[in-house]
Amino acid sequence: MKAFAPAFILFLSLTLSVTAQGLSKTEKKISKIVSTNTPDAIEFLEQVVNINSGSLNLKGVREVGAVFREGFDAIGFETEWEEMPAEMNRAGHLVAKIEGNKGKKLLLIGHLDTVFEENSPFQTFEKLNDSIALAPGGNDMKGGDVMILYALKALYEAGALEGADIQVVFTGDEESTGKPLEISRASLISAAKRADIALGYETSTGFDYATVARRGASGWHLVTEGRRAHSSGVFSERTGAGAIFEMSRILNAFYTQVRGEYGLTFNAGNIQGGTAATYEAASNKGTTFGKTNVVPSHTVVHGGIRALSVEQLKNAKQHMQAIVAKHLPHTEATLSFDDSYPPMAPTEGNKTLALALSKVNQDLGRGAMKTWDPLRRGAADIAFVAPYTDALAGLGALGKGGHTPNESLQLDSMALAIKRAAILMLRLSKDSRDKGGQ
């Protein structure tokens, strides 16, 4: 497999073929509408931030969804709340759409839930000044959701949605994805299969960067077994090496033989080992008991793996399994994987979209854009979409401190961010279709 060269991914220049030409008459109108509506957008943002919508606060997620649903209804979108089965303990998703026959079909992706549950001390929107607000989930990602709504509102008020085909999916469980994924991500994948382009508005990756790739996230579970015996016999032909030495062999081989390819990382998150060891994945907790004069019989490691492409992930899994298969004397080992988020690979189509975004950025008076290092971002819902359509991510609100009690949002960036979103949507939606023979 070819390695992904850092220079190819990290510093792809978007300046070579892009020259600012300025905004069209319609785009100038849209820009003016956004400027007028931005104070309302910030008030709307404060309203939804002040509704707790931790992933497990099902009532709160639904309430935030209802507020956004009213917003989409008001601009002519058909809306639907998609419930999840009760046993999944997740609130569901908001889907809004307009169907037309002109230009590219767009899919816009957001999420309604946050990491801040009802017992969090960080609950309310607080303006520090005219430029910055503390906001639980404001950066990740209610600010991006508001950008989507108010960009579409500007297009609606400018009369620029006629004939457009746009679907919006706001999931209610991005921060703690409901299982099975075949159910919790069914509507998102279905929307992706009919879309020409997907745009993800979760958290800005620096205001002058585009995200053409995000790594996938999977889990791995490794168990080793050895012969329990008195430690005086360890390494003997009768007793063998024991479970902990077998685990050490495997982990060291992972580090020395699998590590190093750009885009691929794997982390051993926790370990239990001894004469008795247990691990419960749901709670990320385990127990262990062992004595220095007893050869350990059981060891468990739970870890995570991230990759930049499906091929890279597949190859890494095969390499790890081959290492596991070579046992020390009188030991056994089993390795299993639990796939969660697939990779969003840096395709040529994604890079073309980044050029289009860079052009909008320049026409709004900013410079050309570069691509963001995928190693600096986690997995996201857009990963489920990426196998089916061209995609861009990291288009959301500008802020910092996500997932912490210091999460903040840069309010003075919202107007420009919404303008950029609206104009990009307009230009992409007006392009001729080429998916599925259209």
**pLDDT tens readout for residues 273-290:** 999 998 888 778 889 999
Q: What whole-number distance in Å separates Cα of residue 130 and Cα of residue 325?
A: 60
205 and 224 together in one domain: no
Asked whether residue 150 is domain-assigned, the answer is yes
Predicted confidence (pLDDT) at residue 18 exceeds the cutoff of 50? no
Predicted confidence (pLDDT) at residue 123 exceeds the cutoff of 90? yes
Closest Cα to residue 319, out of 333, 331, 335? 335
Give me the pLDDT at residue 11, please.
Answer: 33
368 and 258 together in one domain: no
Torsion of Cα atoms, 114 then 118 then 120 then 121, to 10°: 120
Considering the chain, what is the average pLDDT of its residues?
92
**Among candidate residues 303, 325, 341, the one where a domain is terminated:** 341
Closest Cα to residue 394, out of 197, 188, 265, 213? 213
96 and 180 together in one domain: yes
| Full residue range of the structural domain in which residue 316 is found | 216-341
- When pLDDT is cut at 50, 70 and 90, the band that residue 13 belongs to is very low
Torsion of Cα atoms, 345 then 316 then 205 then 75, to 10°: 50
Asked whether residue 222 is domain-assigned, the answer is yes
Question: How many domains does the chain fold into?
Answer: 2
Asked whether residue 1 is domain-assigned, the answer is no
CATH number at residue 176: 3.40.630.10
Asked whether residue 379 is domain-assigned, the answer is yes
For the residues 172-184, what does the mean pLDDT come to? Answer: 94
Q: What percent of the chain has pLDDT over 90?
A: 87
Predicted confidence (pLDDT) at residue 16 exceeds the cutoff of 60? no
For the residues 403-408, what does the mean pLDDT come to? Answer: 94
80 and 187 together in one domain: yes
Predicted confidence (pLDDT) at residue 15 exceeds the cutoff of 50? no
Token code pair at residue 294: 């007893």
169 and 91 together in one domain: yes
191 and 232 together in one domain: no
329 and 381 together in one domain: no
391 and 337 together in one domain: no
pTM as predicted: 0.85
Q: What whole-number distance in Å separates Cα of residue 366 and Cα of residue 22?
A: 11
Residues 6+ apart with CB under 8 A from 313: 216, 218, 305, 307, 343
Q: Which amino acid is at 1?
A: M
Q: At what angle do helices 25-49 and 414-430 cross, to 10 degrees?
A: 130
Give me the pLDDT at residue 427, please.
Answer: 96
